[in-house]
Amino acid sequence: MGNVIIEIKNLSKSFDDFIVLDNVSLNIYEKENLVIFGKSGTGKSVLLKCIVKLLTPDKGEIKIFGENVSELKGKKLTNLRKRISFLFQSAALYDAMSVKENLEFALKKVFKLPKKEIDERVDWALNSVGLIEAKYKMPSELSGGMRKRIGLARAIITKPEIIFYDEPTTGLDPITTKEISMLINKLQKELNITSVTITHDIICAKIIANRSIFLKDGKIIFEGTLDNLMKSNDPFLQNFFNFDIIN
């Protein structure tokens, strides 16, 4: 395993009267593909949003690249966010912008790259996800799989060191799921990216996971390889990964 790139200590988060994360501690290592499993509503997305400071934890500490995230503001927070990307479950493409504008938005506003380099990066990102023909389309003209691919192109265009994927294959057919998962894997290897992925999808996890954790009731109940997770003796985990139809 490489160096620790994200360090989470005793993280807790609740919403009104519901505790979502309860004293979670976790290390994420450089260039690994960590997959986070868990039933719906067990705090997987909340964990990711706390890590990237979209949500503020009630308690605990998160360090990315050695910097305490809760203390980062202004330029320091901007510098951190330039080094990470996030692929949302819905892809979260900007509705009012074309695919090209979606991709170049951060490059223009934050990275302030010259036009020539922006154009080159847009073409590179779209070619990487195999959708160069969608360059001038609006998000409303794209299918679910295409939106995910464009979301992925937007995530890689800034050449980040860490990408967070929030259910990247949800709602897609098995073939597209496999394609997107292989694409994530390919890009991770080509660009040496650390990735943290939330998924319920075993096909996706089998393709991309180096290591996996399982969240239940706001706590990590398993940490290890996907094979060990799927062979666990824990009745709850056995039930989660049991694909037999219950009579």
Partner 1 sequence: MKKTSKNKSSLYIFFDTIGNLSNFTMQFFKDFLLPPYEIDVIKKHMYDLGVKTFPIVSVTGFIIGFVLALQSEPVLRRFGAEAFLPAMVSISVVRELGPVLTAIIFAGRVSSGIGAEIASMRITEQIDAMELSAIDPYKYLVVTRVIATTLILPLLTMYVIIIALIGCYIAILLSTPTSVVYYITAVQEALTFQDLIPGVAKTFVFGFIVGIVGSFKGYYATKGTEGVGIASTSAVVLSSLLILIFDAILVKITLVVWAM
Name which of residues 188 to 247 contact partner 1 (CB under 8 A).
217-218
Q: Which of 11, 25, 22 minimizes the C-alpha distance to 55?
A: 11
Structure tokens at 11: 């993280």
Provide the minimum distance between the beta carbon of 82 and partner 1 in the complex, in angstroms, as a whole number: 6
* Among residues 1, 110, 175, 182, the one that binds partner 1 under rule CB under 8 A: 110
Structure tokens at 28: 């994420």
What residues from 5 to 24 belong to the interface with partner 1 (CB under 8 A)?
A: 14, 16-19
CB of 237 to partner 1, least distance (A): 20
Q: Which of residues 34-53 bind partner 1 (CB under 8 A)?
A: 49, 52
Our CB check for partner 1 shows the closer of 40 and 247 to be: 40
Residue 125's closest CA among 187, 203, 56, 44?
Answer: 187
Task: Confirm or reject binding of residue 88 to partner 1 (CB under 8 A).
Answer: yes
Dist CA 133 CA 164 (whole Å):
26
Cα–Cα distance list, 74 to 59, 80, 193, 196 (Å): 22, 10, 25, 25
Give the footprint of partner 1 on residues 142-171 (CB under 8 A): 158
Total number of residues binding partner 1 (CB under 8 A)?
29
